[in-house]
Amino acid sequence: MANILALMLAGGRVDELDVLTYFRPKSVLPFGALYRIVDFPMSNLMNSGIEKVGILSQYRPLRLIGHIANGQPWDMVGRNRFATILPPFKGRDASDWYKGTADAVYQNLDFIKMNKPDLILILSGDHIYKMNYQTLIDFHLEKSADVTIGFTPLPKEGANRFGQATIEGWSRKGGRVSRYAEKPKKRLLDWASLTIYLFNPNVLYEALEANAKKDSHEFGKDIIPALLENFKVFGFKHYGYWGYSRTLDEYWQTSMDLVGKNPRIDLASWHVMTNMADRNIRDCQPTIIGPSALIEDALFYSGCNINGTVTRSVLFPGVIVEEGAVVKDSILFFDTVVKREARVVRTITDIGATIGARAKIGDDPLGALSVVGTRSTIPDETVIHHGVTVHPNLDPTRFSKSEYAPGEVVK
């Protein structure tokens, strides 16, 4: 096997996720009743036999550093194995803050060259998918490519949020990239970028040095279009599931793809690993399902205590649903408490949130999602309609009324 060095872009905050990324980068957002989003690309690397990973971190890195734990959960600890966090730094010639995805990699050229890679795999740390990167590497070598980019068929909706490409030929594996446009205003080309780039080292070094003299420093916007004219840029086609969870609605929908009669995400076959020491998950007691519980189409792990009704929802360890409470179409992060006879519909609650007795949050199964920030407590009997955002760390005294209209923000 070639000496592959992976660089994971995992340090960004996404404004569209609002209060869910106030205190964490998107890459460590809880997902799937047990995991963090970064677990999916990390597990892909592990399952692909790639054991050298540099993780580019910037926004509030503490939780990411704690979760990665030197790569041990993915068996990346050893003489020639590692998962290293690479935060911004202040040096003689370098900026003290990453100015874009390309600049983040450029600032770590010393780390890259020190590892003398045969190929450099750059990927995002905040997508939900399963891929054996060796198939992409084999395709890259077969085509004698300078750069290979992972693509998936362009979604019917929201095409303007993706880098788009035309891939020549009819091969199912992929072909030469003849056109590329970074996030055009409308559907322009046929394939959406997965933010997965495989570079020959000298090509990457040359591209980064040239880009460093410019004002914009992004792979999709700047590096890839500049390479098309003078280098062999190929597109590798990925047809499997790919969860793009940049917005609240996308995150919710990707989570709902875990449940149902035929879930689109089959965790049993994906071989996803996580840090079981994070939040002491490994020490959780078995989930307790009380005599009054009614559970249908739900996903949960150890450490829950369910005595109410839970339907089409995802519950993380430590969640308590008391007797008479109803949770429907919702995602409850670690240690959320839903008290007696409360009703929670189409809502995401962050870690340690509490929904008071007989409170109602989210009233429209087709309306906008409601979000409750970490460690906030909704007072008893409060009515919160759909689309309401509750900021973190609010106690009951911060709620000035008993009912909140759709779309309100509680601070």
Q: List the structure tokens of 112.
A: 């890259």
Share above pLDDT 70 across residues of the chain, in percent, rounded to a whole number: 97
In sequence order, the 6+-apart residues with CB closer than 8 A to the CB of 172 are 237
Residue 48 lies in a domain: yes
Range of lowest pLDDT (133-137, 234-238, 257-261, 277-281): 277-281
DSSP state of 49: T
Residue 95 pLDDT more than 60? no
* 22 and 162 both lie in a single domain: yes
Residue at which a domain ends, from 241, 256, 271: 256
Whole-number Å distance between alpha carbons of 162 and 193: 6
Residue 222: pLDDT over 80 = yes
Residue 133 and residue 16 in one domain: yes
* Average pLDDT for 20-24: 91
Query: Is 386 among the domain residues?
Result: yes
Q: In which band, very low, low, confident or very high, does the pLDDT at 410 lie, cut at 50, 70 and 90?
A: very high
Written as six digits, the tokens of 52 are 């050298």
Mark whether 156 and 213 lie in a shared domain. Answer: yes
CATH code where residue 152 lies: 3.90.550.10
CB 384, CB 390: distance < 8 Å: yes
149, pLDDT greater than 70: yes
What is the rounded average pLDDT of the residues 66-86?
93
Q: What CA–CA distance (Å, rounded) separates 139 from 264? A: 27
Query: How high is the pLDDT of residue 93?
Result: 52
Mean model confidence pLDDT for the chain = 93
Nearest residue to 178 via CA among 194, 186, 190, 162:
190
The C-alpha atoms of residue 348 and residue 328 are separated, in whole angstroms, by 11
Tens of pLDDT, residues 232-254: 999 999 999 999 888 999 999 99
- Backbone region of residue 319 per phi and psi (left: phi > 0; alpha: psi in -120 to 50; beta: other values): beta
263 found inside a domain? no
pLDDT average, residue stretch 283-308: 96
3-class state of residue 115 by DSSP: coil
Could you tell me if 147 and 183 lie in one domain? yes
**Domain containing residue 293:** 284-410
Between 14 and 337, the more confident residue is 337
User: What CATH number is given to the structural domain containing 380?
Assistant: 2.160.10.10
Could you give the angle at the alpha carbon of 284 between the alpha carbons of 281 and 286, nearest 5°?
A: 130
If asked whether residues 292 and 204 sit together in one domain, one would say no
* 278 falls within a domain: no
Looking at per-residue pLDDT, the higher value among 117 and 160 belongs to 117
Q: Which of 99-103, 113-117, 385-389 has the lowest mean pLDDT?
A: 99-103
- Residue 274 domain flag: no
Rounded CA-CA distance 322/307 in Å is 5
382 in a structural domain: yes
- How far is Cα 300 from Cα 319, in angstroms, rounded to an integer? 9
CB atoms within 10 A of CB 202: 9
Helix (H) or strand (E) holding 6: strand 4-9
CA pair distance 88, 126, nearest whole angstrom:
19
Q: Are residues 302 and 348 in the same domain?
A: yes
**What DSSP line would sit under 375-410, residue for residue?**
T-EEPTT-EE-TT-EE-TT--GGG--SSEE-TT-EE
Q: Read off the pLDDT band of 274 (50, 70, 90).
A: very high
Is the domain of 214 the same as that of 293?
Answer: no
Is residue 247 in a domain?
A: yes
64 with 149, same domain?
Answer: yes
Quickly tell me which residue has 């829950």 as its tokens: 304
CA 214 – CA 290 distance, rounded (Å):
62
Are 116 and 8 contained in the same domain? yes
What is the pLDDT averaged over residues 173-193?
94
86 & 192 share domain: yes
pLDDT at 91 over 60: no
pLDDT tens per residue across span 184-217 = 988 999 999 999 999 999 999 999 999 999 989 9
Distance of alpha carbon 377 from alpha carbon 197, whole angstroms: 43
> Average pLDDT for residues 254-279, to the nearest whole number?
93
CA dihedral 137, 143, 144, 146 (to 10 degrees): -70
Which helix (H) or strand (E) covers residue 110, if one does? helix 109-114
Same-domain check for residues 170 and 21: yes
Total number of domains in the chain: 2
> Is 55 within a domain?
yes
- Is pLDDT above 90 for 365? no
Q: Which of 256, 275, 307 is the last residue of a domain?
A: 256
Is the separation of the CB atoms in 243 and 265 below 8 Å? Answer: yes
404 pLDDT above the threshold of 90: yes
Percent of the chain with pLDDT strictly greater than 90 = 81
Q: Which DSSP helix (H) or strand (E) runs through 4?
A: strand 4-9
Last residue of a domain, one of 214, 237, 256: 256
- DSSP states of 160-200: GGSEEEEE-SS-SSEEEEEEEEES-SS--SSEEEEEEEEE-
Same domain, 93 and 242: yes
